[in-house]
Every structure is written in C-alpha cells, then in structure tokens.
Amino acid sequence: MYTKAENTFILLNLITIISLFVLILAGGVVRSSGSGMGCPDWPKCFDQYVPPTDISQLPADYQTKYVAQRVKKNERFASLLSNMGYDDLAIKIRNDETITIPDEFNATKTYTEYINRLIGALTGFFMLISCFFVRIYIKKNAKIFWFTLFNLVLVFFQAWLGSIVVSTNLLAWVITLHILVALAILAVAIYTYHTAKFKSLDNLATKPSKIGVKLLSIVALIITVFQITLGTHVRETVDFVVTTFPSLTRNNWVAKIGESLNYHRDLAVIIFVLNAGLYLLVLQTFKRSSKIVKFLNIIFILIVLQMLVGGVLSYLSFPPTAQALHILFASLLFGAQFYVVLLINQKPFINYTLA
C-alpha cells in the first residue's frame, strides 16, 4: 500500500513523536531537579561539547564570563521585546538582578541538563531526516510536506527559546512559552503521522460524527492545554515560594501557593467529566474496536494517573519524581486527545449504516 519512501517517512515520524515524549520527560527531570542552569551557556555546556565533571576543569573566572554573556544576550532579547511593543517585559528583564548571580558548578545538574540537550538534538535530527523523505508528498499531499517543514522551523525557534530560558535564569513566562511550543511541535508531528497513515486506518465510523462530538473533543483538548498552562504557573509559584520563604519546609509550600492550585484541581475534574461525556457520544458513532475508542480508554487511564500523581505532589511535598511524571502524563494526555480530535474529524471509510 505504501512505497518504501512513504514507509520510511511514517517510521521516522513515529520515532520523532516518541522522542518528543522522551524529551518532555527529560525536561521535566531537569525542571524538578533544579538542573536548568546546569549548563550556563548554549548550545555548548561550559563552552565544551562534552561538559566537565569537576570544577578543576573550569577556568577560574568562569562565573564572571558566563554572567557577562547572559547579560549581553538578555539585553538583545529585551531590545527585541521593546521593538515588539512589550516594554514592561523588557524592563523586567533588564532589572532582574538574579541574572547577575552566578550558579555554582554541580556535575550532576550539569549532566542532567546535558543529557536533556542531547535528547533534544537527537529529536531534531529525526525531524531533519524526515524533511528529506517528506519531499515525496509535494504532489501527493502538500499538507504533509508543508507542515513537516513548518515543524522544523518550530524546532529551531524552540532551540532559540531554550537558549533564552537559560540566559534569563529560568524566567517564568518564558518557561511556559517553551512548554506550549513543545506541545505545538508534538501536535504537528502527530498530525503529519496521522495524515500519512490515513489510508491504512481501519474502518472507524459507522455513521458521520455529529457536530457536537467534534466540538466536545476540541473543547476537551483546549481545556487540557489551559490546564497544562495553569500547571506551569503553579510550578512557577512554588519556585517563588521557595525563593521568598527559604526557611519554609516543603510540606508547607502548598499552603502558600494560593488559588491557582485550587483551580488546577477543579480543572482536573472538569477534564474527566468532559472526556466521559465524549466517550458516551463516541460509542453512538464509532465501533468499540476502533482506534478512537482505544485511545479514549488510554485517555481515561492517563487522567486517573494524573490525579494520583497530583495527589502525591500536594500531600507528599512535591517529590521531584512525581513532578517529572506529572508533565509527562500531561503531554501524553494532550497527544492522545489531539489524536482523538483527528480521528473524530476524519471522514468514515464505509457506508453510513450501523454495523
């Protein structure tokens, strides 16, 4: 059914999707372990392709050097924001004194961040190779071709944004944007994979999807994206609490977070209800053996896992492992929901009669 080149592209696309999830997990580990500044420069790490393992391998003035580089890069970023009309954000970056505070060398944190970057580079390599094979779709399906190229542009933007995350010393809103761009890259990869695989999918629908089912699937996806965004805000608030109240013990952090955590919990319940309603509506249109029902089952498993991990975070003082799993499950949930939206909105392959 497929040519060799098509099979290769589909395989590379699938590998890219898997590597993106691994990359998100690695990013979660970096975030939860506080290793974001393990490498103070980018794209190299301590100006080396293979970072040092001991402080003795670094020059005596390394802290001064990287602070100066960071300040210079932030000034360029602040100028860009000013030119775009975001003067207030530019002023905050210029006046952020934490930028001038050097980080102490920690080999564990350095290699945690370094491994994260290696996974990112490998993911980018898979996407680059995919762009070589996607040329076969220029005439067959131009959407696959252009979206694949667009995703590569997003990857380069994400890499630049990652450098800004480092230079701004993990500035909160930049981290949130970094996560949202990662989800956008993931969505495009899933879309191109789904579109390339379209003609081999099994018969999904027994009748056309109703507009209500389509809208509900989209609403559920949007709420999940908002939930992930709110979750990053909660995590950033934790960082603020830790910085503002250094003597506060971990088990007292939750009390200081505020209403955003309550909203985050309430949204989890709303997401569960929306997907339950979607599941009931889908069963009226799709076969129980179809991919869409299988993915909805996966969605419910992920929602339950998210709630359990969320409980661990709230009641067991935010353990780092749970933080990393929380963002991984969130990205998996987003990916599964996005795929369900694609499946619901595709045309059925068979006559509109109930099987």
pLDDT digits (tens, 9 = 90+) for 38-93: 888 877 888 888 999 998 888 778 888 888 888 888 888 889 889 898 888 888 88
Instruction: Look at the chain and report how many structural domains it folds into.
Output: 2
Q: What is the pLDDT of residues 19-33, one digit of tens each?
A: 999 999 998 898 888
- Partners of residue 45 on adjacent β-strands: 48
Q: What is the end-to-end Cα distance of the chain in Å, rounded?
A: 26
Domain-ending residue, one of 176, 200, 224: 200
Cβ–Cβ < 8 Å for 326, 310:
yes
Which of 154, 155, 162, 157 minimizes the C-alpha distance to 73? 162
DSSP for residue 286: B
Least confident of 7-11, 33-37, 241-245, 280-284: 241-245
In the prediction, which pLDDT does 239 show? 75
Q: Please enumerate, as own/partner, the contacts of 170-176 that have beta carbons within 8 Å and a separation of 24 or more.
A: 170/36, 170/37, 170/239, 171/93, 171/96, 172/233, 172/236, 172/239, 173/89, 175/31, 175/232, 175/236, 176/229, 176/232, 176/233, 176/236
170 and 296 share a domain? no
In the prediction, which pLDDT does 192 show? 95
300: domain CATH number is 1.20.120
Q: Please enumerate, as own/partner, the contacts of 127-130 that have beta carbons within 8 Å and a separation of 24 or more.
A: 127/16, 127/151, 127/152, 127/155, 127/189, 128/152, 129/12, 130/9, 130/12, 130/13, 130/16
In the prediction, which pLDDT does 353 show? 32
Residue 240 domain boundaries: 202-355
Q: What band does 348 get if pLDDT is binned at 50, 70 and 90?
A: low
More reliable by pLDDT, 62 or 294: 294
112 and 226 share a domain? no
What are the structure tokens assigned to 243, written together? 């910085």
Q: How many residues does the chain have?
A: 355
229 and 141 share a domain? no
129 and 167 share a domain? yes
81 and 168 share a domain? yes
Q: How far apart are CA 202 and CA 11, in angstroms?
A: 18
148 and 208 share a domain? no
Domain-ending residue, one of 180, 200, 220: 200
208 and 61 share a domain? no
Environment class of residue 315 by beta-carbon count within 10 Å: exposed (0-12), middle (13-18) or buried (19+)? Answer: exposed
Q: What is the pLDDT of residues 214-266, one digit of tens each?
A: 899 999 999 999 999 998 888 878 777 777 777 777 677 777 777 888 888 89
186 and 287 share a domain? no
221 and 119 share a domain? no
Q: What H or E segment, with its residue span, contains residue 29?
A: helix 4-33
